[in-house]
Structure 1
């Protein structure tokens, strides 16, 4: 405890989104917390997007999930992809901010817990090996492992593979995203026994159209998963 106090005196805890000092490690300062749009209240049961109105306990869906066939059962997201939330996701994904996996998992755990079933396995969305080498890490895998520790749930990092290298999908239409991801993600035969006959919770950093998550869910079902849900750190929301 004395050593920790000395370290804290030399290196005080800082907000993960800015340089402001905080009372604890891996947290947000008051200003950044107020500016971060955490998702709560009435949400879409399929993707986790926030919906207008009050939560009355009934199952609701957003417009997209009512018109697009989703190959998973339930979905949740931790925060809206805008402002501080967008800054954190981009830093985590492209800025070597691997330290963000820990606070992200804490925020996401509250949304993910209701999706857990007996023997649930967390499975991250995979990266193509070229992109994995370029980025040096798979942010979805880091998030899955941090979330697994927070929830006490096993993680299988290699359950899904991405043998098809796709171009960056930013700025593409919804149809183009789904076309590009068709057949891009497949089950790993070496890990078939890990998820076959078990419920799977797929983990990713952000959901835009849902094309990547759809390809991952289809691959998990092809591997024998009995129930598939998805959870993402952030959700892109129209007019957020």
Structure 2
């Protein structure tokens, strides 16, 4: 049956639609154009760093100057080229088929954060935005990552109490002010974070303002530790 389905619906590249050998993969050209973050990366946000990966954690310039209310962080991709197209397609283009394709990359990047069996929690969106998009892409990624890693997941642990303007085009200070106080623990489901090692999941990290607000909410709920994992990280000179 599987062979018959492959003949009728041959697997296509998740990015450009070209035929590929296996489902949920990329063709050679798109693979070469996808900026995977490997090697030495910032231990707080996953941004690439010069040098070789070693045992001592390294921190990027941004994370040295911006307070991060979480303990560790990783990202699978740099937010450009094919990675940017995939993230935008998942976020705004109803490309839910991209979740199986991208969660493997996220799982590989987040491996150092999964060893203590964290509670996986997605960064929430306001209910009006969720109705408009029909889903929260961070929740889809969080659920898929939890299944793949065998970790527990609580998609309702955090809530967004106030809708905020889109962050695009805002400066650093405005981004942090825009999301300040907008995310909090759910009055019922947030209790699952008490004493837990929480892993926050989102699609993109730019300034880290939204993840910071979510991390502060997780700590307010009593999380023992907070880490973050994102599909893509906006990086300088990338």
The TM-score with structure 1 as length reference comes to: 0.97
Q: Kindly provide the CA deviation profile for residues 26-46 of structure 1, in whole angstroms up to 9, marking residues without a partner as x.
A: 011111111101001110000
- Between the aligned partners of 1:118 and 1:109, the Cα distance in structure 2 is 14
Q: Kindly provide the CA deviation profile for residues 92-134 of structure 1, in whole angstroms up to 9, marking residues without a partner as x.
A: 0011011111111101111112112434100000000000000
Indicate the residue corresponding to 1:210 in structure 2. Answer: 208
What is the number of residues matched between the two proteins?
A: 238
Contact between 1:117 and 1:199, CA under 8 Å: does it hold in 2? Answer: no
Matches within 5 A, 1:1-240: 3-240=1-238
Contact between 1:49 and 1:62, CA under 8 Å: does it hold in 2? Answer: yes
SS class of match (1:215): helix
**Displacement after TM superposition at 1:192 (Å):** 3.1
Contact between 1:163 and 1:185, CA under 8 Å: does it hold in 2? Answer: yes
Gaps of 5+ in 1: none
Contact between 1:74 and 1:115, CA under 8 Å: does it hold in 2? Answer: yes
Gaps of 5+ in 2: none
**Displacement after TM superposition at 1:58 (Å):** 1.7
- Between the aligned partners of 2:88 and 2:17, the Cα distance in structure 1 is 17
Q: Kindly provide the CA deviation profile for residues 182-219 of structure 1, in whole angstroms up to 9, marking residues without a partner as x.
A: 00100002113311111000000000000000000000
Contact between 1:80 and 1:237, CA under 8 Å: does it hold in 2? Answer: yes
- Between the aligned partners of 1:44 and 1:33, the Cα distance in structure 2 is 23
- Between the aligned partners of 1:48 and 1:58, the Cα distance in structure 2 is 14
Contact between 2:156 and 2:190, CA under 8 Å: does it hold in 1? Answer: no
- Between the aligned partners of 1:19 and 1:40, the Cα distance in structure 2 is 26
- Between the aligned partners of 2:86 and 2:139, the Cα distance in structure 1 is 16
Moved more, 121-130 or 51-60: 51-60
- Between the aligned partners of 1:56 and 1:48, the Cα distance in structure 2 is 14
- Between the aligned partners of 2:142 and 2:120, the Cα distance in structure 1 is 6
Q: Kindly provide the CA deviation profile for residues 121-177 of structure 1, in whole angstroms up to 9, marking residues without a partner as x.
A: 000000000000000000000000111111111110010000111000101001100
SS class of match (1:165): coil
RMSD: 0.9
